[in-house]
């Protein structure tokens, strides 16, 4: 039996009894890459056009091989194309075997273009931040681990997270995984120091404490790489930033006036952390007045005064670096601006 016959059987069924209920059928994975063996399955998904189309979703075993007619909605494909899920390659790498209409084909190809679009690199970096947090969560779970089975579970979890992080900062996606994963990462432009050696040793090592050391080194090297790549010009990082963050200052001022002792500390820490991170990304070392140190729940005037000085100094730095702050004094000024757009 040829693997493609599994897909052809589904296509025949659609044409006979489900015409108009399925938008398209797409294959990916080992068959697409021409890398099959005797126990290979056919990686396939179809996109239902109607609720009735979901009836074709089936999992079964054929000649000892597990098969899946996997129903994937347009809504989920949208999320995948937006890199909200880590299986982007099922859109970017594969082949459409059947489509119901030109509109269905065009809709999928637009999602594929979006999945391949790397123009908005900020989104990749932001996703990388979230993945880095998950990596540390995984690592904290193994600090006291003394069971080789549990620690091997953690190894795979951390490796997967790091691989997706590296894909984000290299503006690509993981296509194959498993036995191909190490080589996929190795050919990326930006990878952690000593990655190849650590990766191999994690699969060979049996000593739990040594595994922990290897994982820690891999995570530290990955974070260092991430920070090195998470940079930009001062203009890129701060253009439009003040217009959004001025409300943080306003929250502090209002809270101090109303006797709210909680908001000033929350807002000052959030604002300080955000600005310091952008200073780091911009490779500059400005120091602003310390709002956090001025916080005194018994005398909110201190943090209010410090916040005003912080705001004035921050605005001065922005202007000094050529950042134009968009300010309108009244609605007429806003309308005139909108007319020019």
**Residue 251 pLDDT grade (very low, low, confident, very high; cuts 50, 70, 90):** very high
Question: Mind listing the pLDDT tens digit for each residue in 291-316?
Answer: 999 999 999 999 999 999 999 999 99
Distance CA 208, CA 142 (A): 10
Residue 229: pLDDT band (50, 70, 90) is confident
pLDDT digits over 40-75, tens only?
A: 889 999 999 999 999 999 988 888 888 899 999 999
Specify the pLDDT at position 39.
82
Task: Please name the residue that has the structure tokens 């129903």.
Answer: 71
Fold of 4-116: Beta Polymerase; domain 2 (3.30.460)
How many Å apart are CA 56 and CA 47, to the nearest integer? 10
Q: Is 57 left (phi over 0), alpha (psi -120 to 50) or beta?
A: beta
pLDDT of residue 301: 96
**Average pLDDT of span 316-337:** 89
Share of the chain above pLDDT 90, in %: 62
Do you know the residue count of the chain?
341
Domain topology for 121-229: 1.20.120
| Burial classification of residue 140, based on how many CB atoms lie within 10 Å of its CB (0-12 exposed, 13-18 middle, 19 or more buried) | exposed
Mean pLDDT in residue range 228-257: 89
User: How do strand 43-48 and strand 58-62 relate by DSSP bridges?
Assistant: unpaired
The mean pLDDT value for 313-332 works out to: 92
Query: For residue 1, is pLDDT > 70?
Result: no
208-229 helix and 121-140 helix, angle to the nearest 10 degrees: 160
Tell me, what's the pLDDT at 191?
94
State the DSSP string of 265-295.
HHHHHHHHHHHHHHHHHTT-------HHHH-
According to the model, what pLDDT value does residue 28 have? 93
Q: Residue 255: its pLDDT value, please?
A: 95
The model carries a pTM of: 0.63
For 136-168, the pLDDT digits (tens) are 888 888 888 888 998 999 899 999 999 999 998
94, 137, 158, 159 from 222: Cα distances, Å: 30, 15, 11, 11
**Residue 30 pLDDT class (50, 70, 90 cuts):** confident
pLDDT in tens, 273-287: 999 989 988 889 899
pLDDT of 330 higher than 80: yes
Q: Which pLDDT does position 123 carry in this prediction?
A: 75
Q: Cβ(69)–Cβ(54) under 8 Å?
A: no
Q: In this predicted structure, what is the pLDDT of residue 178?
A: 87
For the chain, domain boundaries:
4-116, 121-229, 235-340
């Amino acid at each position: 039996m040829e693997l493609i016959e599994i897909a052809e059987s589904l296509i025949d069924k659609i044409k006979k009894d489900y015409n108009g209920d399925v938008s398209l059928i797409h294959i990916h994975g080992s068959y697409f890459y021409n890398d099959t063996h005797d126990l290979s399955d056919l990686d396939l998904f179809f996109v239902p056009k109607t609720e009735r189309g979901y009836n074709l979703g089936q999992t079964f075993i054929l000649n000892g091989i597990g098969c899946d007619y996997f129903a994937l909605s347009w809504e989920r494909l949208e999320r995948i194309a937006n890199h909200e899920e880590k299986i982007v390659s099922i859109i970017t790498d594969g082949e459409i075997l059947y489509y119901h209409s030109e509109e269905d084909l065009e809709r999928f190809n637009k999602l594929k273009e979006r999945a391949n679009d790397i123009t908005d690199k900020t989104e990749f970096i932001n996703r990388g931040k979230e993945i880095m947090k998950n990596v540390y969560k995984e690592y904290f779970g193994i600090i006291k681990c003394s069971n080789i089975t549990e620690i091997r579970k953690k190894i795979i979890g951390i490796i997967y997270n790091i691989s997706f992080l590296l894909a984000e900062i290299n503006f690509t996606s993981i296509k194959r995984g498993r036995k191909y994963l190490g080589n996929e990462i190795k050919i990326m432009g930006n990878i952690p120091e000593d990655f190849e050696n650590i990766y191999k040793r994690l699969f060979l090592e049996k000593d739990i404490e040594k595994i922990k050391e290897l994982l820690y080194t891999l995570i530290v090297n990955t974070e260092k790489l991430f920070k090195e790549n998470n940079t930009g010009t001062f203009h890129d990082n701060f253009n439009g930033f003040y217009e959004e963050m001025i409300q943080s200052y306003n929250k502090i001022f209002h809270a101090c006036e109303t006797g709210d002792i909680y908001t000033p500390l929350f807002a000052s820490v959030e604002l300080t952390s955000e600005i310091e991170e952008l200073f780091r990304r911009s490779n500059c070392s400005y120091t602003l007045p310390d709002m956090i140190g001025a916080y005194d729940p018994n005398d909110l005037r201190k943090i209010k005064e410090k916040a005003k000085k912080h705001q004035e100094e921050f605005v001065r730095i922005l202007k000094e670096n050529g950042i134009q702050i968009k300010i309108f004094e009244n609605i007429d000024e806003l309308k005139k601006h909108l007319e020019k757009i």
